[in-house]
Structure formats: structure tokens, C-alpha cells
Amino acid sequence: MPVSDGDKKKLIVNEIESWRRSKLLPEQYCDFLQNLYLDDLEDRPKNLVGRAVRKIEQASRRQWLLGFGIFALICLVVLYFNAFPLALQIGLAAAATAGFVAGGARWRDRLPHRAFLLLGTGMLLLLLSGMAILHLHGWEKGAGPVLLLIVCALTWIGVGVALRFGLLQWCGWMAVVVLYAWTLAHKINEPNGIEVQLFWLPAAVLFVWLSWFVSVKIRSAGTVLFATAIVLWFMPELYSALYGIDTQWIPFQLLAKIAIAGISLYKWRKHWMEWVA
């Protein structure tokens, strides 16, 4: 089917716009070339800010009122958050997080980048609002931060698995790793290097097995668990460096583990790549 003149112009204009983004031509040259092919300068492709401004310009009166109403409500909540009772503070934080998660779920298939932005904002809001509540009520010491990290970890893992977002799952498992390291540091006094290895290596093996076991039904979870297993494999050295445990052996242990991991991954690559890739 022959291409119309309008389609040809559109293709040329889009190509010029790609030159602008990649800096192949100076800005003024791109403007000059676009002016040759555009009958109306309003048809010029917009960047992200330009598209947003265009949508704002085309918004109805109702959308304007709704937008400013939501903005005013957010400002009031932020300003008077300290004066709210504890139950209302927790409820507002949970409702806002749930709203962002619902938005991410809605756009998950059609606009994954927007969904990821909404989910990331919701999970960050959960953490920051939790930290604010702990600070307001003087719970920054003791079990408060631990409980907050547990809630965040479970939420990140659950939402990540439900919506198939691997990075969110991985953040949740990293929070679990931090909790485990914190527990070891407060419960085990002056462990030696061998004990530190025993604290972490069985967990690494367990996560490798879980990666294979879970990948049959949830491929993204299998990949995340395998990545977590790799982190756990090297955690003894990081833990020893943080707490000054047999630091003279850390370089040798690290080199030995890198060699073992490299040889093992190469030897069994046809197996683990099936449930990770």
C-alpha cells in the first residue's frame, strides 16, 4: 500500500526528532528542518515536559479542580500529620501506599514504566511514613525499626510477587538479609570466622534450591531468589569486614569464593540458566 504524503512527513519529522535527542545535529538545525516539513508548529513532537504541559492545557475545569483539591488535601495531611492520633497516622500511610499499589497494578501491562514509578513511590512512602511515625512517638530505639523493616520486607516481597516486579522482590529480600545480619550482631557475641561462614552459607544453598523450586510457577521469583543466593554467598566476608572478624583472611576467602562460584556457575550453567533466564 503506498505511503501518503502525510505519513512521509510524519516519518521525516520523527527522524529529525531522533536526531535532536541523539545530538546528531544542533538544536537550531533540527528546528529549521522541522519547520520545513510542518504545516503547523503545534504538531511538533513534544518531549516529556512538553507532553505534560500539553495535557495540562487540554484539561477540563473539573480536572483542574480535582487536581488542586487533591494537592490541597495532601498539603493539609502533611502539615497536620503530627497532630493526628496514631491509628489515623497508620491508616493514612497504609491507604496512601495501597493507592499507589492499585495504580501500579492498573498500569502493569499497558504502561510498565508508569506502574514501576507508582509502585516505587508507594513502597518508598511506606518506609518514610513508618520512619516518621517511629520518630514522632519516640520508637526509634528498640523493636520499632525492626518491626518497620519486617512490614516493609513482607510488603515489598508480596507486592513484587503478585505484580511480577523482580526488583521490588529483591529489595524485600535484601531487607530480610539486613534483619538477619542485625539479629546475628545482637545475639551472637564475638563469633569466629568459621561460625560466620556457617551463619550464611546454608542460607545461600537454601536460596539456590528455592530458586529452582519456585521458578516452575513464578519465573521472576526464581531469578530474584538466585540473585539473593549470590548475595548471601558473599555475605560472610561483608559481615566480617563490618564487625572486624578475622579481617586478615577476608581477601583470601573472597578470592576463593569467587573462584568456586565462577567454576560452579560455568559447570552447571545449562541447569541454573533454565530457571533463571
What is the distance between the alpha carbons of residues 86 and 90, in angstroms, rounded to a whole number? 6
Percent of the chain with pLDDT over 90: 8
Say yes or no to pLDDT of 45 above 60.
no
Tell me how far the alpha carbon of residue 129 is from its chain's centroid: 17
C-alpha cell belonging to residue 71 = 494537592
Cα 43 from chain centre: 35
Give the pLDDT confidence score for residue 23 in this predicted structure.
Answer: 63
Sign of CA dihedral 106, 112, 113, 118: positive
pTM: 0.69
Q: What is the pLDDT of residues 142-163, one digit of tens each?
A: 788 888 889 989 998 888 888 8
pLDDT at 49: 53
pLDDT tens digits for range 75-120? 777 777 777 788 888 888 888 888 888 888 888 777 777 788 888 8
Residues 255-275: tens digit of each pLDDT = 988 998 888 888 877 777 777
> What is the average pLDDT score of the chain?
79
pLDDT category, 1, cuts 50, 70, 90?
A: very low
Give the closest residue to 94 by CA, choosing from 130, 144, 139: 130
- pLDDT for 18-41, tens place per residue? 766 666 667 666 767 666 666 544
pLDDT at 228 over 50: yes
Q: Is the pLDDT of residue 46 over 70?
A: no
Q: What is the percent of the chain where pLDDT is above 70? A: 79
Whole-number Cα distances in Å, 63 to 59, 86, 152, 241: 6, 33, 34, 55
Residue 202: the pLDDT is 92
Determine which of 50-54, 57-61, 217-221 has the lowest per-residue pLDDT on average: 50-54
Mark out the alpha helices in the chain (DSSP H runs): 5-21, 27-37, 48-57, 61-79, 86-106, 112-136, 144-163, 166-187, 193-215, 219-243, 250-267, 269-276
pLDDT digits (tens, 9 = 90+) for 125-135: 888 888 888 88
